[in-house]
Every structure is written in C-alpha cells, then in structure tokens.
Structure 1
C-alpha cells in the first residue's frame, strides 16, 4: 500500500495513541535492520549458552531478519505493557503499603515461601498482548484498508529486545533485559510487523553507568559480564526451559525460587520507577504471591491444571512443577528449616511418585533435611 508521507506520519501518531488506549504503556517504531546484532547472536549460539532451547539454534540468523520471517516487512511497531500487579506499589511506601521490591526480598528470605516470578502470577501475557496487538491491527485496517502485517508476542524467531532498543523503548541493561528510565523493566513486549514505511523513532541512550547490581545479585552467576548471559545457569532457564533434572551444583543456588527469578530486576535501581499494570489480567491469581511451597507441592495434577488454566506456569506441566518445588523444599534445610515436620511430611508423601524425575529430586531434598537438628517438630 502506498500512502503520502504526511498520511504516514499521522498514522504513526494514531497508532501510538490507539496503543495506549488498548493498555500499552508505550509504542515506538523502527526499521528492520538488525545486522549489528547478528555477530553477538551467532557467538552466543556457538558457545552453547542457549542450553536445551534448541529452537534458538534452529532458527539461527532468521531471528535478526524480520523481512525473511514476514516477507514485505519494512517497519516494526514495538510495544511495551506494564505487568506489575495493580495491588503492588511501584516505589517507596504509599499509604503504608510495602514497596514491591521489599516484599520480594522478604519472600526470598522466608525458607518456606514459594517465590514465583512476578510476571507469572497473573494471566498468560502471550494471550493478552497478542489479542491487544490484533486489536491495534484492526484499528489500522479500519483506518487505511488492507495492508500486510503480523503480530507477535514472544511467539516467533524475532530479536525483540534489539528491535525495542532500536525503536527507543529503552536500552539493554547489563542483565540483557530492556530498561526504561520511566518504567524500569517490569513490562512485557510485543511486535507488530508491517509493510508500511512509517516514520521511525530514535533510540535512547544507555543509562546503567558503573552500576553492577544485577550482576552482583544473580544467585547462579549467570550474568558473565555486561550484556553476557549464560542461559544454562539462569534460574529462569533451569525452572522453566530445562526439561531434564536440574544439575546438582545448581540446586542449592536456586533457593526457594520455584518458577523464574526476578533478582536482577529487584536489585536494579531503575525499578524504583516500575509502573503498575493498567489491565486486571496481571493481578495475582490463586495467592501465588503469598503461597508456601508445602501448599503448592500438595496440588494434584488435576488441581495444577485447573488452577493454572490461562497461566504461563501451566506450560511446564505438573511434573516439572513438583521438580522445582522439591528443590526449593530441600533448600529450606540450609535456610533455617532443616527437618521441618511439614516439609519432610510433604516430601515423604511424594516419595513414590510415578515420575522418576520427581522421585530423584524428592530424594535429594529429603537428604538435605536428614542432617543436623530438626526444627518445627
């Protein structure tokens, strides 16, 4: 489709306005040239840092070539949507409410608490963002007629972070996540690939300075240096992407993080500006922000599937859910709850589980509690 330049500029402004009306925090536009990112992607894959995420290597350089993914693409509309649950305060204490980062640190220090990444406590972001991006596409279509496009939310071989950085949504922090001066990093991103030569937005500069808080706090030292992440050591990879047994040397480092990890984000000074979600979809469900590991470990497969319906957590399945919780329950021993009666009873109840993966992690956890003085009895 061919539109006059003035019409394209006006359309770009309308797209940004419609995006905000649909719940996005910000919309920016960039071209599709990611040639600068290819060398880093190739080196990361060659080093095997993607671990068992075979799809990363399978798609190779396609991730850096949007026009090969969707022929005809000339622009990428990059969108971000805040996900910090609406009941969580973004910075400091407001009306006596605890700062969200303080709450997360308190949970990490509680040996019985099940720490689940903030983003995963509500509805599956894939469905929410994809539906909203489609609504945005429908608005464009109503305005100009048929045009070529596709919408994505972490659902295609696309380097969304370099695209978002190039579009000016923020900069890549030393932990490799995108950072915004006005919103930290607690947001999701989605892309809208179009064949319209819309005017592009300028990138923003980097503002991490000499700070190394994210590198220093990483429990498994997965951040090897600024912008260098070994996914094989990342707690999010170990508890979500890894399908096999969690390596023995990694288990004690995971602590009570049973699905994902927010440590690098919690430590980041820019997240004092994290913004709460405007959509109810990201509100915490089933008490996941306050649940204990013993409570969640008791869920049957039927309960897990029913309660996690519409949640990103459901994708790992009940077996890996139990695997992760067993590791957390085992780590409770070194965190001051060795021999705790409720924990030992919960683990013992799963000792004969049909899954060899679950049984192996349960035995490891029970062994953690077998030494030293008992508590909670």
Structure 2
C-alpha cells in the first residue's frame, strides 16, 4: 500500500472519532474460513433456535462480498455504551426490573446508523469512493470483522471484548471500494479466566466461546416466541429484558469508561423501574413508555410476561393485586405468567 492509502486510512479514522465513534479499525472485505465454518455449524446444529433469519441470511452473512461484491475494505466502528458501574448491583432490589444496559437509552441502531451514514457520506465526497453502511440488522458477521480490524477479540461469552472499553461496544460497519491497509487482528486475551462462564445464571456458556442459545436469558426473554421455560423462571430473577451478567463479569471492564454519548445514557424511567408499575401497562402505555427504545419490539404481552416472572421471583405480597388483575388478561403469555407468579407468593 502507498503512503497515500495510509493517509486515507488515518484521515478516515480521525473523522470517525470526530463523529463520535470510540473505536475504528480496518479489515479486508473477506471472512476467515473458521468463522464461516463456525456459523454454518451453529445453524446446522439448530442452535439459532427461533431466530430463523440467521439461517435465511446465512449465505450472505458468511462473506462481506456476498453482500456487496465490489467491497474491498470493511471499516469497523465501535461506540462505547459503558454504564460506568456493575449492572448486577440492581439485583439487590427485587421490586425493581433489570433492563439490559443496551436498551436503557435510545435505540442504538438509530444512533449508530446516523453516524455511519455521516462517515460514509464524508468518505464518498472526500475520496470519490463507493460506500455502504450496516448495523446488526443486516447479515454481517460484525464481531469477527471487528476482531479482524483490531477492535477487540471475541471472549468466552461470545461477545467482543475491548482492551479500552471492556464488553461495552456497539458495532457498525462501512463497506467501501477503497483498498486500505488492514489493521492487525486482535489476539485473544481471555487466558484462563472464566468469570463470564461462571456468571451466567442459566449455565448457557457451559462450553466457553459457544453460546447455548436455548439457555440464554437474553434469547429467552426477547427473541423466543414461547413462554419462558419453567426450568429457567426462578433463575431469571428480576431480569425483564435481556441479561448482562456475562458481560458485566468480564475483568476487562475495569478499563471501561462511562459513555459520553447523550442518546445512549439511560432514561430515568428505565434505570430501576418498579415492577408493579410496569405490570399495569396497557398496550398504549407500553408503546408510549418505550417509544424510541429497542424494548418496544418485543410487544406489551411478551414484556408483561417477563415482568410477571420477576414479580413471582420477588415474592412480595404487596404485588398480589397487580398479579391478580392480570389473571384474566386477553394474552395467553400474560395469563400464563400471572398464574405462575401468584403461585410463588407466600400464603
């Protein structure tokens, strides 16, 4: 690569940081054979569960050039959403619901994509190069690409770990026809540590670096179409949307910095919401409360199912009237959880 290409890369990195990204790296627009094989194995074993879109888009997901044949370089971007504290501290308050850190502020898809488009537009205008932008709603193997671009490594919890931001980076990509020097991939720095494996409440990481999706609470209370399995209900505690335990346990979080992106800061009403208040939401109230939030996509019925499980785990007699009011709810999901929660309350 020429000095000119390196200057282009350096200028793009500087622009990305100026636009509000916290990490920027460059990789060739190609995937590694081991990553392709790992994805195919994951799908062939049915470990994607209800997430049919993973199988439907697998042929495009396995290689960046399958998405766009003209791409030469992938610019991997990271945006810090670090909470600045251990999210598990909230579990001490059984009357409060725990919403995954990523979902407490504005929908990160909107925040990240807006910045990606701004960077892509600048690249197109500055270098007369073609560009395309992607966030995780597109079939991109973003974590392997981020590793190839030097942003971090994939930890035993199957998520990206950064030396600077721990487990708290949102990812996005700009594909471009510019042929730019690739950064060195980040080697694994997990070593013998198994803190994330031990932190998982449902033993979903019993094989390090492999997620047993059917045991993962983030799948079970967000993506799954069916009620939370009985075997995992008591283990769910007060987690009503997602689970951050494996991310929170990572020792590399000691280097994390709280996000300074205003849109990603937690909304006050989602920092430690009262379960009894959430259980009284009708559909209109749910949509209003979670407007602009990723929580909205699960719908009121799925969300109240999770809230009722948490109320049952709290075992507080004062929640009985709220639970009783939902025993005849029109939703099967809600009625099922209400009956379970009531049975958990002391006589």
C-alpha displacement of 1:8: 2.1
Alignment partner of 1:75 is 2:73: yes
> Does the 8 Å CA contact 2:327/2:338 hold for their aligned counterparts?
yes
Contact 1:286–1:307 (CA under 8 A) maintained in structure 2:
no
The one of 68, 92, 96 equivalent to 1:113 is 96
- Judge conservation of contact 2:82–2:165 (CA < 8 Å) in 1: no
TM-score by length of 1: 0.89
1:258 counterpart SS class: strand
Verify the 8 A CA contact 1:84 1:282 in the aligned structure 2. Answer: no
- Aligned residue number for residue 332 of structure 2: 356
Equivalent residue in structure 1 for 2:122, among 139, 163, 175: 139
| In the alignment, structure 1 residue 280 sits paired with structure 2 residue 280 | no
Structure 2 match to 1:160: 142
Unaligned segments of structure 2, at least 5 residues = none
**SS of the counterpart of 1:209?**
coil
- 1:270 is the counterpart of 2:237: no
Q: Distance in 1 between matches of 2:295 and 2:127?
A: 39
1:220 to 202, 213, 235: 202
When normalised by structure 2's length, the TM-score is: 0.96
In the TM superposition, residue 286 of structure 1 has moved relative to its aligned partner by: 4.1
Any idea what SS the aligned residue of 1:189 has?
strand
SS of residue paired to 1:361: helix
Q: Which residue of 1 aligns with 2:344?
A: 368
Give CA deviations for 1:299-337 in whole Å, capped at 9, x if unaligned.
Answer: 22212111211111111111111111011111112xxx3
The one-character-per-residue Cα deviations of 1:86-126 (angstroms, maximum 9, x if unpaired) are xxxx3xxxxxxxxx11xx33311222110111111000000
Residue segments in structure 1 that go unaligned for 5+ positions in a row: 91-99
1:170 has 2:167 as partner: no
1:203-230 deviation per Cα after TM superposition (whole angstroms, max 9, x unaligned): 1221111111100110111112221101
Q: Which residue of 1 aligns with 2:171?
A: 189
Q: How many pairs does the alignment contain?
A: 346
8 Å Cα contact 1:114/1:291 also seen in 2: yes
How do residues 230-245 of structure 1 correspond to structure 2 at under 5 angstroms?
A: 230-245=212-227
Contact 2:167/2:248 (8 A) holds in 1: no
Q: Distance in 2 between matches of 1:281 and 1:219?
A: 30
Aligned partners of 2:24 and 2:77 also within 8 Å:
yes
Residue 347 (str. 1) matches residue 323 (str. 2): yes
1:44 to 42, 45, 57: 42
**Residue aligned with 2:24, SS:** strand
Report if aligned partners of 1:28, 1:169 keep a CA contact under 8 Å in 2.
yes
Q: d(CA) in 2 for partners of 1:198 and 1:25?
A: 20
- Secondary structure at 1:192's aligned position in 2? strand
SS at match of 2:206: strand
Q: Which residue of 1 aligns with 2:7?
A: 10
- SS of alignment partner, residue 79 of structure 1: strand
SS in 1 for 2:133: strand
Deviation at 1:279, TM superposition (A): 1.4
Whole-Å separation in 2 of the counterparts to 1:54 and 1:205 = 31
Secondary structure class of the residue paired with 2:284: helix
Q: Is the 8 A contact 1:42 1:61 kept in 2?
A: no
The 10-residue stretch of structure 1 (114-123 or 289-298) with the greater mean CA deviation from structure 2: 289-298
Distance 1:224 1:48 in 2: 17
Is the CA contact (8 Å cut-off) linking 1:293 and 1:325 kept in structure 2? yes
